[in-house]
Structure 1
Amino acid sequence: MESQQYKAGLAELRGLRDEIKKAQAALRKLEGRRDRKITEVAGYPKAKPDQIAPAAGRSVRDIVELAPHLAPETSSTSESAAPASKPAVRPAVEVSGAAAPEMAPIAAHQPPAATVPEQDTETTNERDADAEQPPAAPVDQAPAAPAAEPAADTRPDVAPRELPVIPDGPEGDRWFSVAPNLSSQRPTFTQQSRPTVFLDAKTGDLLFGNQRVRLDLGGASAGEILTAVFAYAPDTTERIFITAGAPWHRDADRYPYLKDAVGAWLEAPTPDGWKVESSRGKDTLAGHFLHERNPVGRWERGKQHVEIRSVSEWFDPDGSDVATIRHAFVLLGQALKRIWPDLVIMGSPSQTGRDLWQRTLPTKQGARWADGYPVMSDEIRQLLHATSGQGRTELITPPRVPDQLPALYELDRTLAYGKHTWTSGVGAPERVTAQKFASWSEKQQSDVLFKPGHWRVRVTIPDDWNHVGILPFAVEGERAWIYPHEGGRTFTTWAGGAEINLALRNPVQPWRIEILDGLLWESGTPLKEWSEKLKKAWAELATAAQVAGDDELRTAYRLASRAVRSILLYGIGGFAQRPTITTGSVQLGQENQIPKGARIKTIDGQTVIWERTQMRRNPNAHPEWSAGVWSAARAALLSTSVKGTDGQKTHVGALHLPAGSIVAIRTDALYTTVQPNWPYNGDPGDYLLKGIVPNPSTAPLTENDFYTLQSLGRAYLEEQQDTASANL
């Protein structure tokens, strides 16, 4: 076989791999629809498992597992194994909802004027924030495009995903409590800094202290990196930041999935006594963290401990030299230390953000929450995790937009999440049932919809609605949430208070909302001081970048400002604690040995597989805060206001643009065929023009198509700005 044939074969294999992944996703979707239909027909009073099984192409045992009531002999054991308190997905018994009140609209919809706002090229785009680690790719650069596939749309035929409901009566009321002896408190210790070196895995350049050497990394395995680095760096080094090269992707072509390649790199044998770290300190995670693009490898050798991780967790290095990146971290530390004298920059922005937030907690005796912010019950935290999405990602295709786009403009909200931290829900929530909501006056109803809340609602879209959707709807598949827009459609969902408020007050036409159930919190400011301090540091660094005298210093300041943004972004995401899932097995007939709170997952022959979802006792678990910020940011993407230079408010957002002009939505960015005349002051929440495709183009039908247009638009605008700067 010739080299060209080998390369062609690899390309064909990658194509087959992608097709298999699509087929597997489609199969999972069909299996989900089948299982839901089994559960539905099993509700028939005379249903029999031996009749359903051949029709579904499954065994009688499978049918009984999905519908335990069809097997009287084992139903008692199945019920005893069901979670007693977990917010299980159960068929919702629809009740009459309480109609939300009419509310004054935000502003009349006005088509925008097409002018170009003044640019600030140093402001960066927001990106999705997950609990502990950054997403697969930063949004301020086009992520690695996924395999071409039709973009998910808000079609009525997308398979819905069942969401949890709160049980009726005392069982559900018991959820509305706080976890005993668990609260967020100010730390009584100072973090210990870790000696860090910076390594460019492409060039082999290693920077430690004031020394720079060029290493031979060989194949850049973990073992080769550890050996090469510690041939020069002090043995006290505890962190190796990779600035370029992503060595964990070196064998990506050999594996069907990128995560498999990363796992193989992390688990490969290491020489000279190194082994995977097993334990270290009460506040330190041991072992590797497997992530497709930003993994963390942790090793130990005797009393020596070290971790290898990517600076891409903090910002996109964008080809910067290893010395520039180290300088950015120095500038970051200086800016934050002026605000937090006991600052220690930790391994990730999420960890750093959590630590800095803890150091803003009240300690004055008698102050509200001086004893710490209580953590909610496991059940409510699991409910929020299951019913709260994060960033809105949507590609809108013809016929909702023209086949030929006249132009495309990218508008990005600067430091968007920082705009929505001024108030949050604190303490144990109050339950607001439909009956309780209906008993209140219209003023009381309106007031609570402005407070921190999370609501289960029945939504009816106006018959003649012709704009983008407002409220999320859960669906099967990777997309997880879509935004229905079809006029006259009715659906049931969970949504944050900010989005419910917007649906009732939006500038186009109010939606009909019926309250079915809800959580209502006391308003507090647990994130305000922390957020304000971070925004101050961000503004200082961003301003310094604009006036820096040389390119290296300007880049270092810009990267440092992006790192502050990541601390804020991932710090907020860090409050959204994810539940842990454990599994185990017992022999058939020994179901009484299944742990409390577990459920039977499958029965394979004589073996019963169980699964249990649990929430760790984390004193900083506050999904109500992250969910509230995300909800407010999604609502503001559709409608918010910004002050102009004259001090007057201008209403901005997708719903203030013409219907049919929105091509895509990405967390905090809009892509539209018209260019609005929206003020830009460089403040958090302002919309910045980030890209322009000035000529007609074919509307994107896939994610690949979209990212191609996004890249073209950013390149065109950058070229225009460079030309303008050269002419000054």
Structure 2
Amino acid sequence: MRPTVWTPRQKRTVWLDFKTGRGITDNGSTVRPKIGERRKNPNLTDLLDTAQALGAERIMLTGKVPEVAPGKAHWLIVRTPGWTPGGHWLNKPVTGRFTHDVSGQELEVRTAEEWFGLDELTPTQARDAWSLTGTALAEAVPGAVMFLTPAGTGANAWALSLPKSIDPPTLPGDIAEELHLTSGQHRIEHLTTGPDRCDCGACLPLVDAEATPTLETFSYVDGRFMYAGVCRELGTGPARRLTGSHAADLLELDPYARARFKVRVTVPGDWHHVGLFGVKHEEISAGWHYPNQPGTTWETWADGAEIKIARDAGWIVHPLEAVEFTKARVLDTFADRMVRARERVNAAPDAEPEVRRAAAAALRSMLIQTIGNFASRIKGRTVTVWSARDVPADYVHTIKRFGDAWTYEQPGRPHTERTLPYYRPELAAQVWGRARARVLRGPTGLAGVSGGVLSMDPSTVLGINGDAIYSTVVPSWALPTAQGGGDDGKVGRLRLKGVLRNVPTPRRADERNVLRAKAEAVGVPGWEADV
């Protein structure tokens, strides 16, 4: 079932700094906020009134937007005289929806961080980055336009890029639901001792922060536009189930089959490294973990790429059943075009460096969120009330408090005939699985040399976050080829982003993230890292 290309009406937008309310319109006019009496800086109502006076339909907020603490007031959940809140979305990235009580004008409030991942952009830089992103995308994907979200923009670009000869059927409901229940996304694991280390007993830390309180080196390695490097010849519908010996035969005859396997795995007795297969915690809200305790046995689902690496590493893997997909070039053209758009952004001659970096980050967000969108059900909405008694009984289990306000969640609607062709959980599961596998062991620009965590001394690995690796050494394969390393500039390569010297060993993930940001800011001497 081929997706239908959408052509949205472009919304009039004002780009405003969250703190000052100053900003710029789409056409470059300066915006000064309408600030109420006895206030130095605008509140949310002031920002809404400012945008409404300019005829805008969307506010894009730049600058540092306050983090929200549980139970505390939310900057979006406040009283807004003259405006009625609609169905907000409070998970990151937040979206506010309001309707003017007199004119009926609808106004969305979004953050530029949703696109650019940066909070230091000025309104002008954010608007310029948006324009550069849209121009580069349209040049790479004929007919592409910017939607409200990176996911919507990317999904439409995929529909425009799908070869006319490919008309992949959607998966049967039972297989699609199974993919939802058994597919993890990117890997998140803190591997030093401390409060953020998994305490299940089967996940052993690799670095003892007590024994090594200070690190001579902290390195940050990250994948370059990683998902674009793992989109080749994926599997899609039709899909078929295989049980028992048939699943085992497929794995033996074609270890590169486009398939997901339910397997029983056992950590080898002499293993001392990261775990190779994820499994859900018993407490589902705790996410996934990766046991590495020798002798531990469990059952899980995994992509064929992950199984190939594990078997090569000596793990015992018994296939129990499988779902085999049909190989097709369903994402190849889309990935190639996204790479071309990124190249255009990085080569833009008239854009300042901050704008180029922001636009490249927007394309990265677009790619990541498009893949995630393939496995997404339609979002619900957040309803705001000012008394807990106003929450319907059916939604009491979703209630949250933000200062004086209360919210509850209304579930999303089922997929429609229009949205169903965009629902491709098999594509998301394979991209996620391949990306996890490449972080463990992946190609480099050096003949016969592999990169990734498994090529590193386990005692040097501090953590993994998606396609980012944190370590106490600088892996030689992550250096650029000009410095004798394996980074030849291709997408999908793991490359060094930054190095720090003589820093405290991070016991918590947030401490490690601070070091990551500092390392990226410092970069690598003699080499400028890209986005």
**How do 1:318-467 residues align onto structure 2 when only pairs under 5 Å count?**
318-363=119-164, 367-369=165-167, 373-398=168-193, 400-402=206-208, 403-404=211-212, 405-438=215-248, 440=249, 444-467=250-273
Q: Which residue identity is paired with 2:358?
A: L
Deviation at 1:471?
A: 0.6
> Is residue 16 of structure 2 the alignment partner of residue 214 of structure 1?
no
**How do 1:168-187 residues align onto structure 2 when only pairs under 5 Å count?**
183-187=1-5
Given that residues 184 and 375 in structure 1 are in contact (C-alpha distance below 8 angstroms), is that contact kept between their aligned partners in structure 2? Answer: no
Taking the aligned partners of 1:185 and 1:432, their CA distance within structure 2 comes to: 28
Q: 1:625 aligns with which of 406, 427, 430?
A: 427
Q: 1:635 aligns with which of 437, 447, 463?
A: 437
**How do 1:55-74 residues align onto structure 2 when only pairs under 5 Å count?**
none
Q: Which runs of 5+ in 1 are unaligned?
A: 1-182, 278-286, 583-600, 602-610
Q: Which runs of 5+ in 2 are unaligned?
A: 194-204, 382-396, 398-409, 478-485
- Distance verdict in 2 for CA 1:578–1:185, change over 3 Å: closer
**More displaced, 459-468 or 428-437?**
428-437
> Is residue 460 of structure 2 the alignment partner of residue 657 of structure 1?
no
SS at 1:694 equivalent = strand
Given that residues 401 and 699 in structure 1 are in contact (C-alpha distance below 8 angstroms), is that contact kept between their aligned partners in structure 2? Answer: no
Given that residues 452 and 520 in structure 1 are in contact (C-alpha distance below 8 angstroms), is that contact kept between their aligned partners in structure 2? Answer: yes
Given that residues 19 and 42 in structure 2 are in contact (C-alpha distance below 8 angstroms), is that contact kept between their aligned partners in structure 1? Answer: no
Partner of 2:291: 484
Partner of 1:519: 323
Taking the aligned partners of 1:566 and 1:390, their CA distance within structure 2 comes to: 15
Q: 1:289 aligns with which of 86, 89, 99?
A: 89
Deviation at 1:614?
A: 8.6
SS at 1:314 equivalent = helix
Given that residues 33 and 46 in structure 2 are in contact (C-alpha distance below 8 angstroms), is that contact kept between their aligned partners in structure 1? Answer: no
RMSD of the TM alignment (CA)?
2.9
Given that residues 200 and 322 in structure 1 are in contact (C-alpha distance below 8 angstroms), is that contact kept between their aligned partners in structure 2? Answer: yes
Taking the aligned partners of 2:182 and 2:380, their CA distance within structure 1 comes to: 17
Given that residues 382 and 615 in structure 1 are in contact (C-alpha distance below 8 angstroms), is that contact kept between their aligned partners in structure 2? Answer: no
Deviation at 1:495?
A: 1.4
Partner of 1:228: 50
SS at 2:120 equivalent = coil
Given that residues 17 and 62 in structure 2 are in contact (C-alpha distance below 8 angstroms), is that contact kept between their aligned partners in structure 1? Answer: yes
Partner of 2:110: 309
Taking the aligned partners of 1:349 and 1:433, their CA distance within structure 2 comes to: 39
Q: 1:256 aligns with which of 60, 70, 87?
A: 70
Taking the aligned partners of 2:29 and 2:515, their CA distance within structure 1 comes to: 43
Q: Which residue identity is paired with 2:256?
A: F
Partner of 1:691: 498
Render the CA deviation track for 1:47-90: whole Å, top value 9, x for unaligned.
xxxxxxxxxxxxxxxxxxxxxxxxxxxxxxxxxxxxxxxxxxxx
> Is residue 60 of structure 2 the alignment partner of residue 241 of structure 1?
yes
SS at 1:458 equivalent = strand
Q: Which residue identity is paired with 1:264?
A: I
Deviation at 1:657?
A: 0.8
> Is residue 307 of structure 2 the alignment partner of residue 500 of structure 1?
yes
SS at 2:146 equivalent = coil
Deviation at 1:212?
A: 0.4
- Distance verdict in 2 for CA 1:513–1:217, change over 3 Å: farther
Taking the aligned partners of 1:712 and 1:581, their CA distance within structure 2 comes to: 37
Given that residues 113 and 119 in structure 2 are in contact (C-alpha distance below 8 angstroms), is that contact kept between their aligned partners in structure 1? Answer: no
Q: Which residue identity is paired with 2:132?
A: L
Render the CA deviation track for 1:25-68: whole Å, top value 9, x for unaligned.
xxxxxxxxxxxxxxxxxxxxxxxxxxxxxxxxxxxxxxxxxxxx
SS at 2:449 equivalent = strand
Q: 1:670 aligns with which of 469, 474, 496?
A: 469
Partner of 1:299: 99
- Distance verdict in 2 for CA 1:649–1:300, change over 3 Å: farther
**More displaced, 237-246 or 523-532?**
237-246
Larger of the two Rg values belongs to structure: 1
Given that residues 21 and 42 in structure 2 are in contact (C-alpha distance below 8 angstroms), is that contact kept between their aligned partners in structure 1? Answer: no
> Is residue 16 of structure 2 the alignment partner of residue 203 of structure 1?
no
Given that residues 141 and 161 in structure 2 are in contact (C-alpha distance below 8 angstroms), is that contact kept between their aligned partners in structure 1? Answer: no
Partner of 2:369: 570
Taking the aligned partners of 1:684 and 1:558, their CA distance within structure 2 comes to: 16
**More displaced, 294-303 or 531-540?**
294-303
Given that residues 192 and 344 in structure 1 are in contact (C-alpha distance below 8 angstroms), is that contact kept between their aligned partners in structure 2? Answer: no
Taking the aligned partners of 1:214 and 1:201, their CA distance within structure 2 comes to: 12
Given that residues 317 and 325 in structure 1 are in contact (C-alpha distance below 8 angstroms), is that contact kept between their aligned partners in structure 2? Answer: no
Q: Which residue identity is paired with 1:670?
A: I
Deviation at 1:666?
A: 0.9
Deviation at 1:464?
A: 0.5
